[in-house]
Structure 1
């Protein structure tokens, strides 16, 4: 018997949950997250005038230290708030893209907890061997998920499995549990790591391993093409007499 197609189902599929996990990890645990923005601001570095020794800044003019500290603190708070707003918008965009409906109600605490979950999930994507990925997933399943249950969210969706405590679980608990379940099923089905970290040195993104073909190394065609072109140019530097790439041939023709 063939069940009638329900267009609500794909958002609850294993593949969709795994891709959503990767997308949220990239937003929350990649470069430019709030914690990394704070570190980039240098707020934990010694302020001018506090480090002593050769090359240290001179002592500040009396009466200016308090004002400088206030200005630096205000600037840091503005940057942190801007970074937090950007990340909240990006997280919300991912959630909506995978079928979550407004109002999402993401709070600052939610974002902090989601980031902590994303950092733990990133370790699964970073595992290079299936045994390592399985061990990391087992630790997350033991520490951060509840018993398996089925839910239809009060009849609003097809029946599907959950590993969080209930349908009103906090965002981070839901994210960690649903991601662990999807990644575990992919590992079980394919007997290899469920994903990876992009091999491009300039890209921190993770990706889901699709299908049963050769293991992929890059998160996107764009990264793969960029690294392939860079490798070609390294082997054939300008003036070295090596073959040109199609883009280089087009560029040379336009300059002629």
Structure 2
């Protein structure tokens, strides 16, 4: 069962400037998980606390002719937390990131094969590369 899509819910919530009021506390707690990703112990403590607070209730489903498969609970908070925890457990804490463009800072999951993602989107990467190019031209290098 690939839980990356569930982890993407966590990313979308962290990056949402105007989430539903009931999800604002969770957004802030998930943002703290991304901010603590460089310190794996601190990140794990935060994520474990969220897992305890938002337990997952898996269910079997056979919708749309796909046969029996697992779905996580209907609670978006629990599924986002579980997905993020699964990505960290399977791929590592270094897969959680914040955009390196100083004007951005959005959260992202690095699903690249070589763990090289530094920006939340191609747009931010391009903007940073253009800014670096212009700075080099200004400095004559």
Unaligned segments of structure 1, at least 5 residues = 1-11, 34-86, 88-110, 168-173, 243-256
1:219 is paired with a residue of what secondary structure?
Answer: coil
Q: Which structure: larger Rg?
A: 1
- Counterpart of 1:122 in structure 2 is 31
Q: Is the 8 A contact 2:14 2:30 kept in 1?
A: yes
Question: Where do 1:92-171 residues align within 5 Å?
Answer: 111-127=20-36, 128-142=38-52, 144-146=53-55, 148-152=56-60, 155-156=62-63, 158-162=68-72, 167=74
Unaligned segments of structure 2, at least 5 residues = none
| TM-score scaled by length of structure 2 | 0.80
| TM-score scaled by length of structure 1 | 0.47
Q: Work out the CA distance in 2 between the residues paired with 1:175 and 1:200.
A: 29
Cα offsets for 1:206-250 (capped at 9, x unmatched): 11120441342110121112112212222321xx554xxxxxxxx
Question: Where do 1:102-251 residues align within 5 Å?
Answer: 111-127=20-36, 128-142=38-52, 144-146=53-55, 148-152=56-60, 155-156=62-63, 158-162=68-72, 167=74, 174-237=75-138, 241-242=140-141
Question: Where do 1:71-90 residues align within 5 Å?
Answer: none
Going from structure 1 to structure 2, the CA distance change for 1:161 and 1:135 (only over 3 Å counts) comes to: farther
Q: How many residues align?
A: 137
Q: Work out the CA distance in 1 between the residues paired with 2:135 and 2:128.
A: 10
Q: Is the 8 A contact 1:14 1:185 kept in 2?
A: yes
Q: Is the 8 A contact 2:95 2:109 kept in 1?
A: yes
Q: Work out the CA distance in 2 between the residues paired with 1:18 and 1:209.
A: 11
Q: CA deviation at 1:132?
A: 2.7
Q: Is the 8 A contact 1:190 1:212 kept in 2?
A: no
Going from structure 1 to structure 2, the CA distance change for 1:241 and 1:186 (only over 3 Å counts) comes to: closer
Q: Work out the CA distance in 1 between the residues paired with 2:51 and 2:13.
A: 18
CA-based RMSD = 2.4
